[in-house]
Structure 1
Amino acid sequence: DRSIRPPVVTIMGHVDHGKTKLLDTIRKSNVIDTEAGAITQHIGAYQVETPNGKITFLDTPGHEAFTAMRSRGAAVTDIVILVVAADDGVKEQTKEAITHAKEAEVPIIVAVNKIDLPGANLEKVLQELATAGLQSESWGGDIVVCEISAKNNIGIEHLLEMVLLQAEILNLNANPKVRPVGHVIEARVDAGKGPVATLLIEKGTLREGDPFVVGVYSGKIRAMFDDLGRRRTEAPPATPVEIIGLDGVPQAGDPFQVVESEKYAREMASTRQHYEQISRAAERAQPSMDALAEWMQEHKELKIIVKADVQGSVEAIRDGLMKLAHDDVKIRVIMGSTGAISESDVSLASASNAMVLGFHVRATPQATELAERDGVDIRYYSIIYNLIEDMAKAMEGLLEPDYVEEVKGRAEVRKVFRISRVGNVAGCMVISGKIHRNNKIRILRDNVVLYEDGELDSLKRHKDDSAEVAEGFECGISLKGYNDLKEGDIIEGYVINEVARTL
């Protein structure tokens, strides 16, 4: 029952490089003239019809919103179009966008915009892209680069063809017949309609009248509109629609699902609100380092975002951290840049399970608030040595310990007694150390190991049970599950000690 669905595309790039203009041009080129006036409608997501198929575009305000949604579990983007101005090249925000897209493991298509300007320099852009980790096809890599002018509608058709070609490779499909689920793209309160949310349906077909839960709210679809403001009675997968009929304003990235009845929707929303309150209280109570340590134990990787006052410090910290690399524990600086720790940094850390290190910089109040809410660990340093030392300790906590054997004692079998219903009991003399009741046991005959990792069934001095027997004393020993004892055998007691490893 699965069928091909349109790709969902997010446009990213540096401010003023033409993201908004590109989306406007794509929409104007692909709607009928009579509907062009409706383009002013802003719902955060649009669907365009091209000669080769439909494409859904998410109009997120930069990569921050993209990653904020991903940190809430909403991995809705299939392809990223990275817009780079031909006369300006790769900028700081471009690099950030590349990091965010790569962390999400979303394929990137580069659109080099303003290609018709006198200052356009494609080779310089390709060089800078390669330095930033994106090797174009013309440079022997696998990144598709399209030359465009959003303002003059040059190369737009080719760009859309490349998007659909990439979508074909990704083999995007969804079942339109199951109960609908999706995510919130954006939400607001409208003076006339009340709470309004833009949804992207991921599977199933949404219909008017459907009862639903979204985040911690519930409702029933009273009306649905597409990005041109037209009323829709149903929305198949990968279709963005604006809905009314909610009892509150959800957050971008919140999951949406249709349920069997309004009553059940209200109950689910009420339960979620209850658990969210508990979870927030727990987050406030639990130090974030505990959560980080737990996550690191599971993944054996330490991901770090470095923010510093100057680029030289960023590089020095990155180099110092790279020297901590170990076969068993990975360390990865997923982003390093200068300036205050921003909400964007915290969102990326939350989405990537990373920690943020600030060197001679602090987080903005908004970033601090977001970090507290999302449980992101931010640490501040003024001495590089202290920063590296702390990270080394965090990594050492991830290393599996070494296990070292320690022989505690040896006893020689002097005589073997056969006792009914018990088996063989060895009369022994402890010849070195002590034999402890709870030691692991090994049997040696002529220095050849016959049996190990065994346990004592009994340890007696005369006829009394004993916890340990020291060197120079006789004792009676029987083993669990092992009877083949002979005079002259050596019974070795040993323990396995756990030793913490260091880098």
Structure 2
Amino acid sequence: MQHGTLHVGDPLVAGPAWGRIRALINDHGEQLKEAQPGTPVEVLGLSDIAFAGDDFIVAPDERKARSVAETRERWHREAARGRDSSVSLQGARLEDIFAQIQAGEQTNLNLIVKADAQGSLEALTESLHKLERPEVKVAFVLRGVGGISESDIALAATSEATLIGFNVRPSRQARDLAAAEGVEIRTYEVIYKLLEEVEAAMIGMLEPEYEEIVTGDAEVREVFKVPKIGSVAGCLVQSGVITRNSKVRFLRDGNILWKGEVSSLRRFKDDVREVSSGYECGIGLSDFQDLKSGDIIETFELKEIPRT
């Protein structure tokens, strides 16, 4: 308390919360009928959880308290929405963001986050931002304290956002509206589980990253014309292993002329699956015929790199 006196039964406004004081409890756990300036008290009876730093103001009556609180709640929503400039109506939810990434677009993951306390909300916001990747940015459409309401569902539907609740639950009406609007609600009680699932979903959504591994190279020694097949390169495998159907690039003077697959592989007159270093073979390429002596045929494979 800073000024005046609080009494049990007073109508009260605190940020976007309002109500009539049902009980005042001091720092010794004792119930008081009133609280004087300088007295630390816990106030019971508010409609929602007040934010840290909000002023408690006694209103003339409950009607006025409710009107002021509802106006403040709208301001809080608009301010929370406006603070995150990355929020976009073209953003996406966890369930369908992968299609945008596959198209080569940088994508916003639009989130509405509701938590049971302001401290939890701030910790979640900071932790979720740390999960961002170059391809996926986290955009907070709304961050708030309290249960998941119908207005949260409506906002999620219009902004294509995923709704995350930490230690809070949607009302029955909010659940029904979410089902009708196709809004995804994810609720958690353990913070590391929340972060683990969101990160796993984001990693799964990202376009796979590959490391290229050269598996073999062969030098073209002669070129043969084979009926119904076309040009076949008589080669000496210089390193590694050449495998039928492997990915291949065709090099001339260090320049890449073509990429494709090894369509046929022979040793003398036999079709073989692979030929190792030091052996000669005949290599047919899927749709490349401009073969010359001295060219290099380099085979490779792509190994997916686990994202960290």
**2:99 aligned partner:** 297
Q: Is 1:494 matched with 2:284?
A: no
In the TM superposition, what are the counterparts of 1:310-349 in structure 2 within 5 Å?
A: 310-349=117-156
Residue of structure 2 aligned with 1:454, choices 257, 260, 263: 260
Mapped contact 1:442–1:449 kept (Cα < 8 A) = no
Q: 1:443 & 1:88 partners in 2: Cα distance? A: 71
Q: Say whether residues 1:403 and 2:210 are aligned partners.
A: yes
Would you tell me which structure has more helix in proportion to its own residues? 1
CA distance in 2 between counterparts of 1:450 and 1:481 reads 13
Q: Distance in 2 between matches of 1:450 and 1:336?
A: 52
State the alpha-carbon separation in 2 of the partners of residues 377 and 450 from structure 1.
Answer: 47
- Contact 2:97–2:205 (8 Å) recurs in 1: no
2:76 to 77, 84, 95: 95
Report what 1:365 is aligned to.
Answer: 172
Compute the displacement of 1:463 (Å).
1.4
Show the 5 A alignment for 1:46-65: none
**Alignment CA distance shift 1:295-1:95 (3 Å):** same
Secondary structure of the structure 2 residue equivalent to 1:370: helix
Q: Deviations over 1:169-199 (max 9, x none)?
A: xxxxxxxxxxxxxxxxxxxxxxxxxxxxxxx
Instruction: Determine the C-alpha separation between the residues in 2 that align with 1:474 and 1:296.
Output: 45
AA aligned to 2:127 is G
- 3-state SS of the aligned residue for 2:216? strand
Tell me whether 1:442 sits opposite 2:244 in the alignment: no
Query: Aligned residues, how many?
Result: 232
- TM-score (normalizing by structure 2): 0.64
* Residue from 245, 264, 275 that aligns with 1:469: 275
2-structure distance, mates of 1:444, 1:91: 68
Equivalent-residue separation in structure 1 for 2:255 and 2:193 (angstroms): 49
Residue in 1 that maps onto 2:184: 377
Measure the CA separation in 2 of the matches of 1:445 and 1:457. 20
User: Contact 2:121 / 2:143 at 8 angstroms: preserved in 1?
Assistant: yes
C-alpha separation in 1, matches of 2:153 and 2:230: 67
d(CA) in 1 for partners of 2:180, 2:252? 64
After TM superposition, the runs of 4+ consecutive aligned structure 1 residues lying more than 6 A away are: 87-90
Deviation readout 1:430-475 (Å, 9 max, x if unpaired)? 23222122122223456x2352313334321221333322334321
Relative to structure 1, is the Cα distance of residues 378 and 423 closer, same or farther in structure 2, using a 3 angstrom cutoff? closer
Query: Which stretches in structure 1 are left out of the alignment for 5+ residues?
Result: 1-13, 17-86, 103-131, 134-290
- Please tell me whether the aligned partners of residues 233 and 291 of structure 2 are also in contact (alpha carbons under 8 angstroms): no
1:500 is displaced (CA, Å) by: 4.9
Alpha-carbon RMSD across the aligned residues, in angstroms, is 3.3
State the TM-score, normalized to the length of structure 1: 0.41
Gaps of at least 5 residues in structure 2 are: 1-15, 19-67, 85-92, 102-106
1:405-420 matches, within 5 Å, as 405-419=212-226
Instruction: Return 302-311 or 469-478, whichever deviates more.
Output: 469-478
Q: Which has the higher contact order (CA 8 A, sep 6+)?
A: 2
